[in-house]
Amino acid sequence: MSQDDSAAFRAAHYLRKGYQGLVSEDLRTYLKRWIPLSILIGLFAGLAAMAFQWLLLGIWHVSYDLAGLPWYLRLLLPAAGGLLAGWIVSRFSPESAGGGTGYVIEAIHHHGGYVRPRSGLFKIVVSALTIGTGGSGGREGPIMHIGASVASFFGGRLKLKKGEMRTLAIAGAAAGLSAVFRAPLGAAIYAIEVPYKNDLEPGAVIPSMIASVVSYLVFVSFNGYEPLFEAPAMDADLGLMVVLAIVLLGAVIGLAGRLFIFSMRTAEMLTARSRLPLAAKVMYGGLLVGCVGLFVPEVLGLAEDEIAMLIEGSITSIGFLLVLFLAKMVATSMTVGSGGSGGVFFPSLMMGGALGAAFASVLGLSPLPLFAIAGMGAMMSGVSKTPIAASILMAEVVGGYAVLIPVMLASVVAYMVTGNQTLFRNQVTRRPFVYDPAALDKVPVEKVMRGDPVTLNSGMTMAEARAATVDEPHYLYPVVDQAGRVLGVMLREQLEEHGEPGDRVETIMVRQFEKVRAGTSAYQAFEDMNAKQISRMLVVGHDDGVLLGTLTRIDLMEYLEHKDEEHRLY
C-alpha cells in the first residue's frame, strides 16, 4: 500500500469512527435502511408522476385544445371519459375509484400501508381519462395513490413489516405529490399530516423528505424548475386591519369548506343509493359536469389557467368569482362523489382563491392576489385538516414565502371553523399507540420494573407500618427481612382496616405473593400476568430472593409506549 493510500485509509477509518461516535446504533441502522429505500421510491415515483402528467395533458389536448370544438362535445366529453374510466375501474381495479387520498389513508390505518401495486398503473389511466376529458378534479389524490403503490411494490419485494410498509407508503405519497406540485417540503409535510385530523406521523419524516426531494429532482430535470404558479410582486404590509381581514377571511373560508364537505357527502350518498353499475354512475356524474361546463367552462379539468389568473389577481368581477366557487364545488362533487378518479386539492385552490378574491373585492382590500392565495391555503387546510402543509405548500407552489404568514393565519382559522368536518372519512384524530407485547420478548424485567419500592419490616408494629406508608398510598407493600428477602406482602386494605396498633406486621401479612426472578423476559411476565389474572408482581434476585422492585401491567404498557415514541423520533 502506498503512503497516499495508507493516509486515505486512515482518514476514512477516523471518519467512520467519528460517525459511529456521533450517531447512535439505532439511528445508524435506521438510516442504512431508509436512505436507499427512500431514494429508490423517490426515483420511481418521479418517473410515474411524469407518465401521469404526460398522459393527462395528452388527453386534455386531444379533447379540448383542438379548434372548433362543438358545444355538444363539451357537454358529452366528461360523460364519455367517465364511462370509460368507470368501466376500467369496475372491471380491473375497484380500488382506483374516487379521489385517491382517502384510499391511501385507509391503507395506512387499516391495511399496514399496503396499496396494491397494479392499482397504481390503473390509477394513472383512469385519472388521466377522468380529468383529461373535463372531469373536475386534481392530481394530488391520484399521484399519492400512484406513489404509494410504487412504495408497496418495492416493500413487498423486500418483505417489509407492516410498520415499515406504512412508513414507505407515506414516503411514496410524498414523492408523488412533490413531483406534480414542485413543492418538496410541503409535499413531505402533507403526506405525514393528512392521515390525521390533529396529528402527524413523525416516524415517516426522514423517508418522506428524502423521497420527496429525489422525486422533485427527477421531475424538474425534464419539466423545468419554475414553481407551479407565479405570484406577482406584492407589498404584503401586515398591519392590524390586514391581519383582522385575513382572520375574517379564514372564518368565511371555513364555512365555505363545510359547505363543500356537505356537497361532497351528498353526492356520495346519492351515488351509494343508486343501483346502477359504477360505470353508469361515473358517466352520469360526468354528464352533470358537462352541463355545468357549458355555462362555466373554466371549471372543467384541472383549471390551471384559471387558478393562475386568480393568483395574478386578474379576475375581479365579484359575481363571476362567486359563480366560479359554486360551479367548481358542484362539478367536483359530481366528479369525485360519483366515483370518478380525481383529487380535491386543485378544486380547493380554485374555490378558495375565488372566495378570497371576492372577499377582498367586496371590502376593497389589496393586494388582491394576497387574499386569493390566503383563501386557497385556507380552503385546503379546512377541508383536508392540514394547516401546516397548506401553509408551506402554498408558499412553494406560488414561489414566494412572503405569503406564508397570511396563509398560516387564514389556514388555522379555517381549520378551527371546519371543526371535525373533513373530506376524508378515514382520517383519525390522533396517531394511535401501537400495542405490540412481542416487543417485550428480549427485555429483562429489571428494565421495566419500578425500583426502590416502599417496603415494610416484618418486625414492625401496625402503627409503625401505617406511619411509614401514610404518604405512599400503594395497593400493596412488600414485607422483607433484614437481608432484604421477601417474606410476604401487606395489602393496603389490611393495613388500614385490620390489626391493633401493637400487632406485628408478620402476624397479618399475606405470605402468598406472585414473584418473577431477575433475568426473566418482560414478555414472559406479561403472559404470566394474563394467565393468572393478576396485575402486579415482585421482582426478586435470581439466586438470593432479595427484593429488586415491583412490576405492574401499567409499567409494561408505559414501556411499550415509550419504545413506540422512541422509534418515531427518527
The string of DSSP letters for 343-411 reads BSHHHHHHHHHHHHHHHHHHHT-S-HHHHHHHHHHHHHHHHHT-HHHHHHHHHHHTT-GGGHHHHHHHH
Quote the CA–CA distance of 191 and 213 in Å, as a whole number. 13
Same domain, 21 and 67: yes
HSE at residue 433, side-chain half, CA atoms within 13 A, is 11
pLDDT digits (tens, 9 = 90+) for 234-293: 776 778 888 999 999 999 999 999 999 999 999 999 999 999 999 999 999 999 999 999
**Global confidence as pTM:** 0.74
Per-residue DSSP letter, 340: -
E strand or H helix that includes residue 540: strand 536-540
The set of cell numbers assigned to 530 is 394474563
What pLDDT shows up at residue 14? 46
Find the Cα–Cα–Cα–Cα dihedral 129, 134, 135, 140, rounded to 10°: 70
The set of cell numbers assigned to 121 is 398503473
Does the structure show a pLDDT above 50 at 570?
A: no
What pLDDT shows up at residue 1? 47
> Could you tell me the CATH number of the domain that includes residue 319?
1.10.3080.10
Per-residue DSSP letter, 511: -
Give mean pLDDT, residues 503-511.
Answer: 83
Q: How high is the mean pLDDT of the chain?
A: 87
Q: Which residues contact 15 (CB under 8 A, 6 or more apart)?
A: none
Higher pLDDT, 506 or 191: 191
Confidence of residue 475 (pLDDT cuts 50, 70, 90): confident
Same domain, 125 and 244: no
234: buried, middle or exposed (CB in 10 Å: 19+, 13-18, 0-12)?
Answer: middle
E strand or H helix that includes residue 198: none
Does the structure show a pLDDT above 50 at 567?
A: no
Which of 369, 387, 418 terminates a domain? The answer is: 418
Confidence of residue 201 (pLDDT cuts 50, 70, 90): confident
Closest CA to 158 of 304, 10, 254, 34: 34
Asked whether residue 427 is domain-assigned, the answer is no
The set of cell numbers assigned to 130 is 377522468
Higher pLDDT, 202 or 177: 177
Same domain, 24 and 137: yes
Asked whether residue 234 is domain-assigned, the answer is no
Q: What are phi and psi of 516, to 5 degrees?
A: -135, 135
What pLDDT shows up at residue 18? 47
The set of cell numbers assigned to 527 is 403472559
Lowest-confidence segment of 129-138, 326-335, 370-379, 426-435 by average pLDDT: 426-435
Q: Which residues contact 70 (CB under 8 A, 6 or more apart)?
A: none
Asked whether residue 232 is domain-assigned, the answer is no
Asked whether residue 114 is domain-assigned, the answer is yes
Same domain, 406 and 494: no
Find the Cα–Cα–Cα–Cα dihedral 10, 13, 17, 19, rounded to 10°: 110
What pLDDT shows up at residue 467? 85
Closest CA to 294 of 513, 454, 75, 475: 75
Same domain, 46 and 104: yes
Asked whether residue 233 is domain-assigned, the answer is no
Does the structure show a pLDDT above 90 at 32?
A: no
Asked whether residue 304 is domain-assigned, the answer is yes
Residue percentage of the chain with pLDDT more than 70: 91
Lowest-confidence segment of 120-129, 219-228, 390-399, 541-550 by average pLDDT: 541-550
Quote the CA–CA distance of 320 and 317 in Å, as a whole number. 5
What pLDDT shows up at residue 111? 84
Quote the CA–CA distance of 395 and 392 in Å, as a whole number. 5
The set of cell numbers assigned to 332 is 367536483
Asked whether residue 121 is domain-assigned, the answer is yes
Query: What 3-state class would DSSP assign to 227?
Result: coil
What pLDDT shows up at residue 498? 77
Q: What are phi and psi of 97, to 5 degrees?
A: -75, 160
Does the structure show a pLDDT above 70 at 506?
A: yes
pLDDT digits (tens, 9 = 90+) for 90-148: 999 888 888 889 899 998 888 888 999 999 999 999 999 999 999 999 998 999 999 99
Same domain, 153 and 125: yes
Quote the CA–CA distance of 219 and 330 in Å, as a whole number. 32
Same domain, 401 and 282: yes
Does the structure show a pLDDT above 70 at 474?
A: yes
Quote the CA–CA distance of 252 and 387 in Å, as a whole number. 16
Question: Which sign, positive or negative, has the C-alpha torsion 122, 123, 127, 128?
Answer: negative
Range of the domain at 321: 240-418
Give mean pLDDT, residues 377-388.
Answer: 95
Same domain, 182 and 262: no
Which of 368, 384, 418 terminates a domain? The answer is: 418
Same domain, 103 and 166: yes
Lowest-confidence segment of 40-54, 70-84, 209-223, 444-458 by average pLDDT: 444-458
Same domain, 170 and 254: no
Instruction: Count structural domains, the chain.
Output: 3
In 450-542, alpha helices (H): 462-469, 492-497, 522-532
Lowest-confidence segment of 346-350, 401-405, 429-433 by average pLDDT: 429-433
Which of 192, 223, 254 terminates a domain? The answer is: 223
Task: Estimate to the nearest angstrom the gap between the alpha carbon of 97 and the chain centroid.
Answer: 21
295: buried, middle or exposed (CB in 10 Å: 19+, 13-18, 0-12)?
Answer: exposed
Q: 104 and 169 in contact (C-beta within 8 Å)?
A: yes
> Could you tell me the CATH number of the domain that includes residue 561?
3.10.580.10
Does the structure show a pLDDT above 50 at 22?
A: no
| DSSP-derived pairing of the beta strands 486-491 and 476-480 | antiparallel
E strand or H helix that includes residue 451: strand 450-451
Quote the CA–CA distance of 438 and 443 in Å, as a whole number. 10
Same domain, 279 and 147: no
Quote the CA–CA distance of 339 and 88 in Å, as a whole number. 12
The set of cell numbers assigned to 66 is 383542438
Same domain, 474 and 555: yes
Asked whether residue 15 is domain-assigned, the answer is yes
